[in-house]
Structure formats: structure tokens, C-alpha cells
Structure 1
Amino acid sequence: MSKLVLEDVELYYNRVHALRALSFEVGEGEIVALLGNNGAGKTSTLSMLSGLVRAKSGRVTWGDKDLTKLQPWDIVGAGLLHIPEGRKIFSTMTVHENLLLGGYLVKDQKLIQERADYAYELMPRLAERRTQQGGTLSGGEQQMLALGRALVGGPKLLLLDEPSMGLAPLIVKQVMEIIAAVNKQGTTILLVEQNARAALKIADRAYVLESGRVTMSGPANELAADPRVIEAYLGA
């Protein structure tokens, strides 16, 4: 059973203390949301988990693997895929070419195609635009493309950074439904999201970060009803 466990993680950017004794866990098959305002440490957490930045101290394990000792490409190889804020698709490549790039570590070409077909089935809008350049897509379609590209990589744990950013409410709902559907197929998800209302609707559990540390945690439905969360993140 693969569980993600962070224990007393400390992270600095030069003199900025980004994560402070950060500890939490994500169980296999869960959707866990990380909530918090700008500067709370949410993106830093995902960057550290994917090996883009290194923790100064603490331990991070995914099943029997110590992620703090792995290179970013080895972390991807272990099944942790990170969709960064802003999507980061390849704008001059077609939708289909973007999807296929998600399988760059997958040696089985038939499997890559099967996963691409699944992405098209899950997100028919991508199928309609498979020959269009990624840069011509709307923001919501680009987010779907980023999700589809990750799915071709066969993620066991998907790290999502602000998937709703800049999207209209109806598109946010669609993207969250797609994330929930991916989870139902067995992918564990760690969701960083400022849209707390949308995140708590699909999450099993959530953690609230402030200044790089966990200040609240619990089942998503309980946090959604907590007056402190309502006041700070959901609106009165």
C-alpha cells in the first residue's frame, strides 16, 4: 500500500522559511486538498514533493521510497506526476502530440495509445481538438490537456497545483468532475487549490496551511462546515 507521508519537513528559499516542520499524509486512493492563502507554502510543498526543490530537513516517503533522496525523473518514474500552476503545455504542439509526450518514460507504445484514448474518452473536447495547437485552446481546455498528458504517464499519485485558476465557474465544475473521475479509477490525488469551496466538494480530507505549517485538518465535509474555514476561505 502506497501512502505519502511528510514528517517535519523544513524548506528554505535563501532566507525565506517556506515550510516549517510540515507533517501530513495522503492515503492510497484519497483526494486530499491543501488549502491556504498565497504564500502559505502550498506550491512549495508540491515543488518539494516532485524534487524541483530540496528540503533542508525532514522525511518524505511514498510507500517504501524515500523521496528526499530521489531525482525528479526518478520521482516521476515512481508514479508521482506534477501538474504545475499555469498548465505548462507545449503551445506549438498539437493536442495529440502533447498527450503522447506524457508517456516519455513509458516504453510500451500500445499502452501510451490506450491511455491517450482514455483521456479522449474522459474529455471529449480534447478529442474534438486533437489536431489543434495547444496554444489555441481555451484555459479550461488547456487544463484538460495538462490532465490528459499526466494520465498518459500512468500516475499513481497526481500532484495538482491550482487547476481552477483563471477558469469560469462552469469550467471549474467540469475540471473538478474530471479530477474526481480520475480518482475513481484509482489515482491518488493531492490537490492544491485556492478555490476552497470547489476543492472541499471533491476531497476526502483537507489540510489548511498558514506560513508553511498545518493549522487545521480533518474530513473535507467537516472543514467545509467549520466557521473558521467559512470565514477565511469560503465567505460568510
Structure 2
Amino acid sequence: MLEIRDLDVHYGGVHALRGLSLTVAQGETVALLGNNGAGKTTTLSAVSGLLRPSGGAILFEGADITREHPHRITARGLVHVPEGRRVFSTLTVHENLQLGGYLVRDSAEIRRRIERVYELLPHLAQRRGQQGGTLSGGEQQMLAVGRALVTGPRLLLLDEPSMGLAPLVVASIMELVADINAGGTSVLLVEQNAAAALRIADRGYVIENGEGVLEGPAAGLREDPRVVQAYLGGV
């Protein structure tokens, strides 16, 4: 579904990604792990068109999207939920969700998608008239994901959805990601909480200094001593 081949990205004089390669198959959840500054967010930004690679290729469903504009990539069904939630604080929950349908011309389809989000996240349905900025951090994260679902993703790019959230809320977010994947949407998950990510992922990649250093089934990575020591607290 998604194939990244030997990807290079530069920020001015900084070589942020160095020949990175990874794949996401239809129906998979793939975790992308690494320390701060490893290149995880850069990878998602390059895939979604927010950054222009300096080398390599990105293919989505067989089409080369390496230099395609972000709105065209989104229209293909590759939808990015960036780090930091970024909900519209003065708009209501419902208005935020409506904005997720900006590329959808059929207003009835937008309404159907919003209702599906409310079914998946009944807590948001109860707050549909509440301003986004008054929600808790966990609720804002769910709203950001719900807005992306209204766009109609076939592949969802999630950047640090658990950042700054309490453990119980993290568990709810991960359950939501698992439910989205079970509904047929593939997921590329960037997550600092490696233990939580590997519990719901099918496969994973570890990157350091912009380079892929490990990959494999999630169950295998959970047992790999290098992953345990570096990302799972050494236990």
C-alpha cells in the first residue's frame, strides 16, 4: 500500500533522513519507533507532502507521490494527523468534524461519516456543541483523529497520539487506533510510547539518526534486547 524507498530529507544543512525504506501493507498497523530527533515526524511529513524529499521515492497504492502536493495526497486517501492535536479551539466539536470533509463534495456523505465518528466516539457526540479548546487533552486527540476519519483515509498517519496524556487515556487512544484498523483502515503510527504501540501494531521499524536500524513483527521487537533496553525501560 505504502512503500518508502531509500528516502533522503534535508533541513538546510541537516541530513534528517538517510536512505530510509519501509512498507505498510493493506490492513496493517505499522509502528515507527525512535528517540526524539530520530526522524519519525520527518518521515510522516515527507509522506504527506509537507516536506520535499531530496532523494528516494514514496509510492502509495502503486503511484509515485514523492513530489505531489499535500492536498492531492490527502485526496488519494492518505491522511496525516500531526503531533499536537491542532484542533480549531473556537469551533465546536461538530464544526471541527465538518472541516474534515473539505475534500468531499457530497454533503450527505460528510454527514454519514460524522455520524460514524460519533458512533465510534460517543463521548464526542455528547460534546458536539462544545468548543474544541474547552476539551481535555485526550478529547482533543480523539477529535483530531475523528476529523481525519471524516476525510476518508485508506491509510492514516498518526504522529504521537499519546503525547502528554495520562496512562488511562493512552489506553483509550490505542484502543481507538486498533478499532480504526479493525474497520479496514491501515495505520502508520509514530509513537514515543513503544510499549503501547507494539501492543497494537502488526510490525514495526526503529530508526536512529534518520536511518532504519531494526524492523520486524511487533511481537519480535517486544522481545528484542535492543528494543527492550532502549525503548521499553529495560524490563
Alignment partners' CA distance in 1, 2:110 and 2:61 = 25
Contact in 1 for aligned 2:205/2:212 (Cα 8 Å) = yes
| 1:26-66 deviation digits (Å, cap 9, x = unpaired) | 10110000000001000000010010110001011001211
Unaligned runs of 5+ in 2: none
Deviation at 1:111, TM superposition (A): 1.0
Alignment partners' CA distance in 2, 1:177 and 1:86 = 19
The residue that corresponds to 1:17 in the other structure is 15
Contact in 1 for aligned 2:206/2:213 (Cα 8 Å) = yes
Contact in 1 for aligned 2:31/2:190 (Cα 8 Å) = yes
The residue that corresponds to 1:224 in the other structure is 222
* Partner-residue secondary structure (3-state), 1:165: coil
Contact in 1 for aligned 2:52/2:67 (Cα 8 Å) = no
The residue that corresponds to 1:191 in the other structure is 189
| 1:41-98 deviation digits (Å, cap 9, x = unpaired) | 0000001001011000101100121111311110001101100000111000000000
The residue that corresponds to 2:95 in the other structure is 97
The residue that corresponds to 1:60 in the other structure is 58
The residue that corresponds to 2:43 in the other structure is 45
The residue that corresponds to 1:78 in the other structure is 76
Amino acid corresponding to residue 2 of structure 2 in structure 1? L
The residue that corresponds to 2:67 in the other structure is 69
Alignment partners' CA distance in 1, 2:8 and 2:83 = 22
Alignment partners' CA distance in 2, 1:127 and 1:73 = 28
The alignment-based identity, stated in percent, is 61
Deviation at 1:217, TM superposition (A): 0.5
Matches within 5 A, 1:71-150: 71-150=69-148
* Partner-residue secondary structure (3-state), 1:231: helix
| 1:108-156 deviation digits (Å, cap 9, x = unpaired) | 1111111111111111110111000000000000000001100101101
Q: Which runs of 4+ in 1 moved over 2 A?
A: none
Alignment partners' CA distance in 2, 1:58 and 1:85 = 24
* Partner-residue secondary structure (3-state), 2:36: coil
Report the number of matched residues: 234
Alignment partners' CA distance in 2, 1:162 and 1:104 = 24
Deviation at 1:227, TM superposition (A): 1.1
Contact in 1 for aligned 2:4/2:58 (Cα 8 Å) = yes
Alignment partners' CA distance in 2, 1:61 and 1:88 = 27
* Partner-residue secondary structure (3-state), 1:182: helix
Alignment partners' CA distance in 2, 1:197 and 1:120 = 28
The residue that corresponds to 2:155 in the other structure is 157
Q: TM-score, normalised by structure 1?
A: 0.98
Amino acid corresponding to residue 232 of structure 1 in structure 2? A
Q: TM-score, normalised by structure 2?
A: 0.99
Amino acid corresponding to residue 49 of structure 1 in structure 2? V
Amino acid corresponding to residue 210 of structure 2 in structure 1? G
Amino acid corresponding to residue 156 of structure 1 in structure 2? R
Question: 1:34 and 2:38 equivalent?
Answer: no
Question: 1:179 and 2:177 equivalent?
Answer: yes
Contact in 1 for aligned 2:159/2:190 (Cα 8 Å) = yes
* Partner-residue secondary structure (3-state), 1:201: helix
The residue that corresponds to 1:208 in the other structure is 206
